[in-house]
Structure 1
Amino acid sequence: LGCEAAVGSLVPSGSREFKLCSKHTEGKHPLHAIGFNFADARYYDVFATAGGNRVTTYRGLPDGNLAVLQAYIDADDAQSFYTLSWASDLAGTPLLVAAGSNRVIRVINCATGKLFKSLIGHGGSINEIRTQPLKPSLFISASKDESVRLWNVHTGICILIFAGTGGHRHDVLSVDFHPSDMHQIASCGIDNTVKIWSMKEFRPYVQKSFTWTDLPSKFPTKVVQFPLMTCVVHSNYVNCTRWLGDFILSKSVENEIVLWEPKTKEQGHGEGSIDVLQKYPVPDCDIWCIKFSCDFHFNQLAIGNREGKIYVWDVQTCPPELITMLSSPQCKMTIRQTAVSFDGSTILACGEDGSIYRWDEVEHEAAKN
């Protein structure tokens, strides 16, 4: 309320405890992405990883171990997958959308383990893919080519391209859909900005993409050149952004995550202000390939660092509460990404050493009684 932002303490509260249950090494390639399937309630215990030219799906077993379900090996040996996201077609078939260095988006059918579609359009490597939580047939991609694209996974159509006059001026590193307003997205990148975009006026094109029967290349893809607003919250690269209701969490290479409120004006593109609310310090997190994750209800946030440590924050307390800091002698390499299970009781981490680490919550005796 007009005061300085509330900064969290790095002294863990210990309100929840976790133990390392298992370590699984996939191979020699670094793992860039890991994520639970929140798109389908039947598979909340299923997650996937991406790294090198491989996308692998697993199930987290009740005993703390991991079971490999299937692996997709890309035909391009030189491919390096950077990102993945769960989606589904109109029939509800679970799909994995993955992309990386070779600019092509691969859509994998998880029922068959086979390639479903290859989507081409970006002119540079693809840094992040996110699925629309309310319509999991839609997803957005953020690329080195300075653009964000909206796709329909069912028809393979590129519906909208967010780029141009008011767009990013360098690689776009992260992007996210607003959780309840289907028309808003946020993107961020190496130009130090976070941009908020609206696709409200393009609703007819989104709807048309579901019924289009001609070639996807003939669809009248529209370019959105001006964001609702451009926000300068950080003074360096911004490499991860997530909506928290109408607020935004964003991470730069400045060893902290910031929670802030964008205040857009009804009239005029790009106008507005921001109100920084809270800061979550993360030591040794000054490289841009590290992303954070949250559980389904956005209660907990987990982020790794260069030293192999994982910081678990309670997102919704003020000032922020560091729940715990996870570390293990087995893990001394950079944690590139984490995944927090639906209820926050399991935290996964993957990173530079090609391994997956699974931490499970320890039940307190008082809770058992």
Structure 2
Amino acid sequence: MSAPASPLKREREEAAAASSEEDYFTPDSSASPGPSKRKSPPPANAIREGSSVSTITDPATPKTSESEVQPNGVPEMTSASKHEQLEVIFKNLRLRRIVKENHGSEVNQLAFCLNPQHNQTPFGIDHVKVFEKRGAVKRDPSDNSNVLGTTGGPQANIYDNEHCGDHLDIMSHFLLDPVGEEGAEELPEMLTCCWMHQPQDAILATAGTDKVIHVLSLARSKELVRLSGHTHTITDIQAHPSNDNYLLSASKDGSIRMWNILTGKCLLIFEMKASVVCFNPNTEGRTFLTGGYNGEVREWNVPDLEVEPEEPIVVLANESRVLQSGLHSARIDCIRFAKGKVLSKSVNGKIEYWDATTLQHIRTFTIKNTASNQCRFDVSLDELFFCAGTSNGSVYIYNIETGKTVTELKHRRSTKAIRTCIFSRDCRTVICAGEDSFIWRYDYVTDETLNEWASWKPEP
């Protein structure tokens, strides 16, 4: 049986209409339900071949060991700038791992567990891996940046991107069943996710067509709480940059909500139908931006929450400020900040770089060789580069300061639309995923190793 069309595909094929679905969960269901009792499919990093389960690897990619990479993983360019060193790394990224998730739907978002507020581990060129005798990577206890979360179909999956053989090993697998409505058979589609910090734990929040935010604990391997209140599909969620308990969500029901994940309470309701949200890191979460279906970008002030209200505070649309109304001509599907400026992307492949304070437009990036495509792009932690996927299975990396294209990551087996792509902490890995439920990992390979591959010949 083929997988049902995802909500994103249905949205592109049909005009938007009011939802006829009932809430799967009641608004006051803040109690912590136990894990799903439904029999779980095979692990998400496996596919079935006959009676066995196996991980897919790229047969065309030779295997190399960590010893082939220079100690700091950086080309010998002592006088080169970080821009130049990173560009060399990006141009030497090669496909090293392919993972097939078993839900058969789109992988809608990827997220590394990166938390600058609680983790001061170096990043980019300055990040140097140190290995134990047995080959495992030594890490600071607060550094969870090897942990990767994915969301797609009715699942949220968590992988270890480094410790176990330096490849995507599954750590936790959550199957999110429809609960609370008798006879409900259609499984929800998870469209968005984000990581949140809690003491001795890593929390993955995910949401989608069931109108509920699922708060999942990695340490306990269970669902902690379900945040109910939205009445239509949730399209985007984002953790508060300075308060570990707060979460922001955008829904097609015409509201944006702020939640406390510990109490399960909705604190604020902003009356606006937005496709995406993004906290402004320059204001430590006191303001955030929303991207609209009409291409409009608005700025919102977050009311003081020193004393949390008993009932949600409602913020009207006229209390927000329109920052951009003509810069984008299509729905905005991703907003990020870089060097204090805004990068906003619309589904027509235009990424605009502009100043949120002066509203000055700096430059336009046009994603090459792509039709209309929804894709969450990512900005490197040093905020020097960003990567964005295309409708034909490739990923482009751009230099934000120069506006130039650095490289295209492409493989003959990757032909479907990319919906999400991310950088690792050290920028030596780019991971992307999309329509075909595959996760593609591109890794940095040294010039020395590339030369060995080029001169390799099979034994007679």
1:92 deviates by: 4.8
Describe the SS at the equivalent of 1:180. Answer: helix
**Aligned amino acid, residue 55 of structure 1:** A
Q: How big is the shift at 1:345?
A: 1.5
Deviation, 1:19, is 0.8
Structure 2 CA distance for aligned equivalents of residues 20 and 220 of structure 1? 47
2:263 maps to 1:155: yes
- Tell whether the 8 Å contact from 2:215 to 2:226 is kept in structure 1 after alignment: yes
Contact 2:200 2:219 in 1 (8 A): no
Q: Which residue of 2 aligns with 1:228?
A: 321
Task: Name which of 389, 410, 413 aligns with 1:304.
Answer: 389
What displacement does 1:279 show? 1.6
Relative to 1, partners in 2 of residues 1:346 and 1:15: Cα closer, same or farther, differing over 3 Å?
A: closer
Whole-Å Cα distance in 2 between the matches of residues 224 and 160 of structure 1?
11
Q: Distance in 1 between matches of 2:448 and 2:245?
A: 43
Q: Given the alignment, which residue of 149, 161, 168 partners 1:48?
A: 149
Whole-Å Cα distance in 2 between the matches of residues 336 and 297 of structure 1?
23
SS in 1 for 2:307: helix
1:189-338 matched pairs, under 5 angstroms: 189-199=292-302, 202-203=303-304, 206-209=305-308, 218-225=310-317, 226-232=319-325, 233-263=327-357, 274-315=359-400, 317-318=401-402, 320-338=403-421
CA distance in 2, matches of 1:364, 1:159: 53
What is the deviation of 1:15? 6.3
Give yes or no for the alignment of 1:22 onto 2:105: no
Question: Which among 172, 175, 185 is matched to residue 288 of structure 2?
Answer: 185
What TM-score do you get using the length of structure 1 for normalisation? 0.83
1:86 alignment partner, one of 177, 181, 195: 195
Q: Is the 1:174–1:239 Cα contact (8 Å) retained in structure 2?
A: yes
Distance (whole Å) between structure 2 residues aligned to residue 36 and residue 153 of structure 1:
20
Give unpaired runs (5+ residues) of structure 2: 1-86, 120-142, 179-185, 450-460
Alpha carbons 1:14, 1:323 under 8 Å: kept: no
Residue among 328, 341, 351 paired with 2:434: 351
| Of 104, 109, 112, the match for 1:36 | 112
Gaps of 5+ in 1: 1-12, 213-217, 265-273
CA contact (8 A) 1:175 1:242 kept: no
* In 1, Cα distance between equivalents of 2:353 and 2:432: 23
| Corresponding position of 2:241 | 133
Equivalent AA in structure 1 for residue 264 of structure 2: G
- How far has the Cα of 1:180 moved from its partner? 2.8
1:173: Cα distance to partner? 1.6
Q: Which residue of structure 2 aligns with residue 107 of structure 1? A: 215
Distance in structure 2 (CA, Å) of the matches to 1:290 and 1:130: 16
Q: 1:91-143: per-residue Cα shift (whole Å, max 9, x none)? A: 35211110001101100011112110100111210111111222232221111
1:126-170 alpha-carbon deviations (Å, 9 max, x no partner): 11111122223222111111222111222222121121xxx44xx
**Distance (Å, rounded) in 1 between the aligned partners of 2:390 and 2:247:** 28
Whole-angstrom CA distance in 2 between matches of 1:231 and 1:179: 19
Greater than 4 Å deviation, 4+ residue runs:
none
When Rg is computed on C-alpha atoms for both structures, the one with the higher figure is 2
Taking the aligned partners of 2:200 and 2:343, their CA distance within structure 1 comes to 30
- Residue 328 (structure 1) shift: 0.3
SS at match of 2:306: helix
Deviation at 1:64, TM superposition (A): 4.6
Using structure 2 for the length normalisation, give the TM-score. Answer: 0.67
Counterpart residue identity of residue 34, structure 1:
L
| Structure 2 letter corresponding to 1:250 | S
The two structures, once aligned, show a CA RMSD in angstroms of 2.1
More strand by share: 1
Count of residues paired in the alignment? 325
Cα distance in 1 between the residues matched to 2:201 and 2:172: 16
**CA distance in 1 between partners of 2:336 and 2:254 (Å):** 19
